[in-house]
Amino acid sequence: METEEMYQKLKTMLADVVPDVELRYKAELAVEINRLKKERNAVILGHNYMEPVLYHSVTDIQGDSLELSRKAAETDKDVIVFCGVKFMAETAKILNPTKTVLIPSMAGCSLAASITAADVRALKARYPGVPVVTYVNTYADVKAESDICCTSGNARAVVESLESDTIIFLPDEYLARNVARETGKHIIFPSLDKSASPNESELDIQMIGWKGRCEVHEKFTVEDIRSVREQFPDVYILAHPECSPEVVAASDYSGSTTAMIRAVQATHAPRYLLLTECSMGDNITAANPEKNMLRLCSVRCPHMNQITMENTRDSLKFNRFVVEVPEEIRVRAVSAVQRMLRIG
CB of 106 to ligand SF4, least distance (A): 13
Per CB under 6 A, 110 contacts ligand 13P: no
Q: Which run of H or E residues covers position 169?
A: strand 167-170
| Residue 151 binding ligand 13P, by CB under 6 A | yes
| Residue 110 touches ligand SF4, criterion: CB under 6 A | yes
Stretch of 51-59, 107-115, 119-127, 195-203 lying at the interface with ligand SF4 (CB under 6 A): 107-115
**331 CB neighbour count, 10 Å cutoff:** 13
∠ CA 331-335-338, nearest 5°, is: 125
224 binds ligand 13P (CB under 6 A): no
Most distant CA pair in the chain: distance in Å? 69
| Residues between 252 and 271 that touch ligand 13P (CB under 6 A) | 256-257
Count Cβ atoms below 10 Å from residue 165 Cβ, excluding itself.
10
d(CA 166, CA 69): 27
Report the residue count for the chain: 344
For ligand SF4, the closer of residues 36 and 260 by Cβ is: 260
**Which residues 283-342 are close enough to bind ligand SF4 by CB under 6 A?**
301, 303-304
CA atoms within 13 A on the CB side of 229: 12
Given CA atoms 217, 221, 222, 228 in this order, what sign does their dihedral have? negative
Does 48 engage in binding with ligand 13P (CB under 6 A)? yes
Whose Cβ is closer to ligand SF4: residue 288's or residue 305's?
Answer: 305
Options 106-114, 231-239, 245-253, 326-334: segment touching ligand SF4 (CB under 6 A): 106-114
Q: For the segment 159-188, give every residue that binds ligand 13P (CB under 6 A).
A: none
- Residue 37 or 141 with smaller CB distance to ligand SF4: 141
Nearer to ligand 13P, 277 or 314 (CB): 277
d(CA 304, CA 105) in angstroms, rounded, equals: 9
Q: In whole angstroms, how close is the CB of 127 to ligand 13P at the nearest point?
A: 26
* C-alpha span between 62 and 71 (Å, rounded): 9
* Nearer CB in complex with ligand 13P: 34/256: 256
Q: Which residues pair with 212 in a beta bridge?
A: 172
Binding residue (CB under 6 A) for ligand SF4 from 214, 248, 250, 307: 214
Strand partners, 133: 148, 169
Nearest 5°: the CA angle 173, 178, 182 is: 145
Which of ligand 13P, ligand SF4, none has residue 72 at its interface (CB below 5 to 8 Å by kind)?
A: none
- Interface residues toward ligand SF4, by CB under 6 A: 85, 109-111, 137, 214-216, 242, 277, 301, 303-304
